[in-house]
Structure 1
Amino acid sequence: MEHLAELDKKHFIHPTSSIQQQQANGPKVIMEKGEGIYLTDINGSEYMDAMSSLWNVNIGHGQDELAEAAAEQMKQLAFSSAFSTFSHEPAIRLAEKIASIAPDGLNAVFFTSGGSESNDSAIKLTRHYWRIQDQPERRKIIGLKRAYHGVAAASTSATGIKEFQEMAGEMMTGFVHTETPYEKTADEAIHDLRQTIETEGPDTVAAVMAEPIQGAGGVLIPPDDYLRQVRALCDEYGILFIADEVITGFGRTGKMFGVENFSITPDLMTFAKGVTSGYLPLGGVIVSDHVHEMLKEKSKGTLFHGFTYSGHPTAAAVGLKNIEIIERDGLVENAREMGGQMLRAFEKVQSELDIVGDVRAKGLLGAVELVQDPATNKRFSPDQQAAPKVIDQLHERGMICRPVSFEGTDIICFAPPLIINREQVHTMVEKLHDAVFAVQKELQVKG
Structure 2
Amino acid sequence: ALKFARAATGKKRVVSLESAFHGLSIGSLSLMGCESFTEGFGPLMDQWDTRIALDDAASLERELAKGDVAAFVIEPVQGKGCKSPTTDFFPRAQALCRKYGTLLVSDEVQCGLGRTGKMFGFQHWNLEPDIITLAKTLSGGYVPCGAIVSQRDIYQKTFSRMDRCVVHSTTFGRNNLAMACGLAALEVIDQENLVERAAEMGAQLMERIDALRAKHSFIKEVRGKGLIIAIEFHEPSEFKLKMAWKLLHKVDKVLFAQMIVTQMLSKHRILTQVAGHAMDVLKILPPLIIGEKEIALFVTALDNVLADCRKFPGPMWELGNNFVRAAISSRRSSQAPVVSA
Q: What is the TM-score of this pair, normalised by structure 1?
A: 0.64
Using the TM superposition, give the Cα deviation of residue 426 of structure 1 relative to its aligned residue in structure 2, in angstroms: 1.5
Residue type at the aligned position of 1:210: I
Pick the aligned partner of 1:153 from 11, 19, 26: 26
> What are the residue-to-residue correspondences of 1:68-79 with 2, within 5 Å?
none
Pick the aligned partner of 2:53 from 180, 183, 194: 180
Which residue is equivalent to 2:211?
348
Which residue is equivalent to 1:432?
302
Using the TM superposition, give the Cα deviation of residue 246 of structure 1 relative to its aligned residue in structure 2, in angstroms: 0.1
Residue type at the aligned position of 2:179: A
Evaluate the alpha carbon distance shift between residue 418 and residue 167 of structure 1 in structure 2; reply closer, same or farther with a 3 A threshold. farther
Matched, 1:208 2:72: yes
Pick the aligned partner of 1:327 from 164, 173, 190: 190
Using the TM superposition, give the Cα deviation of residue 273 of structure 1 relative to its aligned residue in structure 2, in angstroms: 0.3
3-state SS of the aligned residue for 1:340? helix
Evaluate the alpha carbon distance shift between residue 268 and residue 443 of structure 1 in structure 2; reply closer, same or farther with a 3 A threshold. farther
3-state SS of the aligned residue for 2:164? coil
Which residue is equivalent to 1:362?
225
Evaluate the alpha carbon distance shift between residue 404 and residue 248 of structure 1 in structure 2; reply closer, same or farther with a 3 A threshold. closer
Using the TM superposition, give the Cα deviation of residue 373 of structure 1 relative to its aligned residue in structure 2, in angstroms: 5.0
Matched, 1:398 2:269: yes
Which residue is equivalent to 1:223?
86
> What are the residue-to-residue correspondences of 1:43-54 with 2, within 5 Å?
none
Indicate the larger mover: 250-259 or 303-312.
303-312
> Are the equivalent residues in 1 in contact too, given 2:218–2:236 (CA < 8 A)?
yes
Using the TM superposition, give the Cα deviation of residue 437 of structure 1 relative to its aligned residue in structure 2, in angstroms: 2.8
- Measured against aligned partners, the alpha-carbon deviations of 1:19-67 in whole angstroms (never above 9, x if no partner) come to xxxxxxxxxxxxxxxxxxxxxxxxxxxxxxxxxxxxxxxxxxxxxxxxx
- Measured against aligned partners, the alpha-carbon deviations of 1:93-149 in whole angstroms (never above 9, x if no partner) come to xxxxxxxxxxxxxxxxxxxxxxxxxxxxx011111212xxxx3xx211111111000
> What are the residue-to-residue correspondences of 1:162-177 with 2, within 5 Å?
162-177=35-50
- Measured against aligned partners, the alpha-carbon deviations of 1:372-410 in whole angstroms (never above 9, x if no partner) come to 158xxx99625261111111111122211001343x421
Give the Cα–Cα distance (whole angstroms) in 1 for the partners of residues 94 and 87 of structure 2. 13
> Are the equivalent residues in 2 in contact too, given 1:354–1:440 (CA < 8 A)?
no
Give the Cα–Cα distance (whole angstroms) in 2 for the partners of residues 269 and 443 of structure 1. 50
> Are the equivalent residues in 2 in contact too, given 1:386–1:439 (CA < 8 A)?
no
Aligned length: 306
Indicate the larger mover: 235-244 or 300-309.
300-309
Pick the aligned partner of 1:193 from 30, 55, 60: 60
- Measured against aligned partners, the alpha-carbon deviations of 1:274-332 in whole angstroms (never above 9, x if no partner) come to 00011110101100133234346568633412111111111101111111111111111
Matched, 1:258 2:125: no
3-state SS of the aligned residue for 2:72? strand
> Are the equivalent residues in 2 in contact too, given 1:139–1:174 (CA < 8 A)?
yes
Q: What is the TM-score of this pair, normalised by structure 2?
A: 0.83
Pick the aligned partner of 2:251 from 362, 380, 383: 383
Evaluate the alpha carbon distance shift between residue 443 and residue 158 of structure 1 in structure 2; reply closer, same or farther with a 3 A threshold. farther
Which residue is equivalent to 1:129?
8
Which residue is equivalent to 1:4?
none
Q: Structure 2 regions of 5+ residues with no counterpart?
A: 318-341
Give the Cα–Cα distance (whole angstroms) in 2 for the partners of residues 290 and 180 of structure 1. 30
Give the Cα–Cα distance (whole angstroms) in 1 for the partners of residues 269 and 129 of structure 2. 40
Pick the aligned partner of 1:274 from 128, 131, 137: 137
Residue type at the aligned position of 1:164: F
Give the Cα–Cα distance (whole angstroms) in 2 for the partners of residues 414 and 382 of structure 1. 26
- C-alpha RMSD of the superposition: 2.4
3-state SS of the aligned residue for 1:311? coil
Give the Cα–Cα distance (whole angstroms) in 2 for the partners of residues 417 and 290 of structure 1. 36
Which structure would you say has the larger RCO, counting Cα contacts within 8 Å and 6 or more residues apart? 1
Evaluate the alpha carbon distance shift between residue 350 and residue 417 of structure 1 in structure 2; reply closer, same or farther with a 3 A threshold. same
> Are the equivalent residues in 2 in contact too, given 1:270–1:284 (CA < 8 A)?
yes
> What are the residue-to-residue correspondences of 1:65-104 with 2, within 5 Å?
none
3-state SS of the aligned residue for 2:78? coil
Indicate the larger mover: 431-440 or 230-239.
431-440
Residue type at the aligned position of 1:412: L
Give the Cα–Cα distance (whole angstroms) in 2 for the partners of residues 382 and 197 of structure 1. 40
Using the TM superposition, give the Cα deviation of residue 152 of structure 1 relative to its aligned residue in structure 2, in angstroms: 1.1
Q: Structure 1 regions of 5+ residues with no counterpart?
A: 1-121
Which residue is equivalent to 1:3?
none
Residue type at the aligned position of 2:77: I
3-state SS of the aligned residue for 2:305? helix
> Are the equivalent residues in 2 in contact too, given 1:178–1:196 (CA < 8 A)?
no
Indicate the larger mover: 138-147 or 425-434.
425-434
Give the Cα–Cα distance (whole angstroms) in 2 for the partners of residues 286 and 299 of structure 1. 21
